[in-house]
Structure 1
Amino acid sequence: MKMYCAIGMIAVSWAQLEDMVSLCISRLLGTDHTEFLPIASNMQIKARFDALKAIAGLRLPADEAKALIARCDEALELGRERNKILHGSWIQGETDDVAIRLNYRAHGRISTDAPVISAREIAETSDRITMLTEGFAQTLQRLGLFDPKNPMRSPARDPGRTPEPPLAPLAPLD
């Protein structure tokens, strides 16, 4: 049971990360998030990270862009571990907090590598994903683009908002 809870934690924390990445893109583009969601929902997560990295490089100061791009790269690495955990084939281990993950190769062959993984190890991966999500939110908050008390409120459309220094304008297309 502990293993299933830990695996579920990965699914939830990754979904929150995906939502935050979409929010970052929409806010950096200056687009209402609810209007951007139909676009984001049709993008694979790697495409979302690539888009975020590109828009960060265009709109943010160099140090903020570099940090955000590094966070995206870290998330993509964690995504590989997330995929192994969520899409793996699990066999119960000796106790309820340990399981064995069967690793499949192309055409359904099972590799000889079948690591034993604990619920705690999986929960630690979930915690790392959650910390990345919080890091993205903190970046938006520093830029004045995120209110943790009302995350869906679009700062650009909030008349009572104190104006922040503008983001770098997008270069015109020639």
Structure 2
Amino acid sequence: MKMYCAIGMIAVSWAQLEDMVSLCISRLLGADHTEFLPIASNMQVKARFDALKAIAGLRLPADEAKALVSRCDEALELGRERNKILHGSWIQGETDDVAIRLNYRAHGRISADAPVISAREIAEISDRITMLTEGFAQTLQRLGLFDPRNPMRNPARGSATEAAKPPEAAD
């Protein structure tokens, strides 16, 4: 049972991360988030991260853009772990907080490697995903583009995206 809960934590934390990335994109574009959601929902996850990295480079000061790109890259790495966990084939281990993941690939190739992982290890990955989500939210909040009490409301529609743009080079 503990394993199922830990695997579920991964699913929930990743969904929240995907939502936050979409929110970051819409806010940095100055778009209404509810109007942007149909677009985001049709984008693969990697495409969302790539889009966020591109728009960060255009709209944010260099240090903020660099931090956001780094956070995106870390999330993509964690995405690989997430995929192994959510799409793996699990066999119960010796106790209810340990399981064995059978590694196999498309076309019937099965590896002899069957790693044992604990619910705690999976929960730690979920915590890392949650921390990334919070980091994205904090970036938006610093830019005046996120109100944690009402996340769907854009606290500075229009003007904040202008304020988030990097200063133009002097002529």
Length-normalised TM-score, structure 1: 0.91
**Structure 1 runs not aligned, ≥5 long:** none
Q: Which runs of 4+ in 1 moved over 6 A?
A: 160-164
Q: 8 Å contact 2:98–2:118 — kept in the other structure?
A: yes
Deviation of the 1:155 alpha carbon: 2.3
Give the aligned partner of residue 98 of structure 1.
98
SS of the residue corresponding to residue 165 of structure 1 reads helix
Q: 8 Å contact 2:88–2:101 — kept in the other structure?
A: yes
Deviation of the 1:11 alpha carbon: 0.1
Give the aligned partner of residue 168 of structure 2.
170
Structure 1 vs Structure 2: percent identity of aligned residues?
Answer: 91
SS of the residue corresponding to residue 155 of structure 1 reads coil
Q: In the superposition, relative to structure 1, how do residues 163 and 15 fare at CA in structure 2: closer, same or farther (>3 Å)?
A: closer
Q: 8 Å contact 2:103–2:114 — kept in the other structure?
A: yes
Deviation of the 1:165 alpha carbon: 3.1
Give the aligned partner of residue 115 of structure 2.
115
Q: In the superposition, relative to structure 1, how do residues 57 and 166 fare at CA in structure 2: closer, same or farther (>3 Å)?
A: closer
User: How many residues were matched structurally?
Assistant: 170
Deviation of the 1:110 alpha carbon: 1.6
Task: Deviation per CA, 1:112-137: give whole Å up to 9, x if none.
Answer: 11000000000000000000000000
Describe how 1:78-97 pairs up with structure 2 within 5 A: 78-97=78-97
**Structure 2 runs not aligned, ≥5 long:** none
Length-normalised TM-score, structure 2: 0.93
Q: In the superposition, relative to structure 1, how do residues 123 and 47 fare at CA in structure 2: closer, same or farther (>3 Å)?
A: same
Q: In the superposition, relative to structure 1, how do residues 162 and 90 fare at CA in structure 2: closer, same or farther (>3 Å)?
A: closer
Task: Deviation per CA, 1:149-174: give whole Å up to 9, x if none.
Answer: 000002244xx999983524999xx9
Q: In the superposition, relative to structure 1, how do residues 93 and 37 fare at CA in structure 2: closer, same or farther (>3 Å)?
A: same
Task: Deviation per CA, 1:64-87: give whole Å up to 9, x if none.
Answer: 000000000000000000000000
Which stretch shifts more, 114-123 or 148-157?
Answer: 148-157
SS of the residue corresponding to residue 117 of structure 1 reads strand
Task: Deviation per CA, 1:84-129: give whole Å up to 9, x if none.
Answer: 0000000000000000000002312220110000000000000000
Q: In the superposition, relative to structure 1, how do residues 122 and 44 fare at CA in structure 2: closer, same or farther (>3 Å)?
A: same
Q: In the superposition, relative to structure 1, how do residues 89 and 166 fare at CA in structure 2: closer, same or farther (>3 Å)?
A: closer
Q: 8 Å contact 1:33–1:152 — kept in the other structure?
A: yes
Q: In the superposition, relative to structure 1, how do residues 115 and 13 fare at CA in structure 2: closer, same or farther (>3 Å)?
A: same
Q: In the superposition, relative to structure 1, how do residues 8 and 162 fare at CA in structure 2: closer, same or farther (>3 Å)?
A: closer
Q: 8 Å contact 1:101–1:114 — kept in the other structure?
A: yes
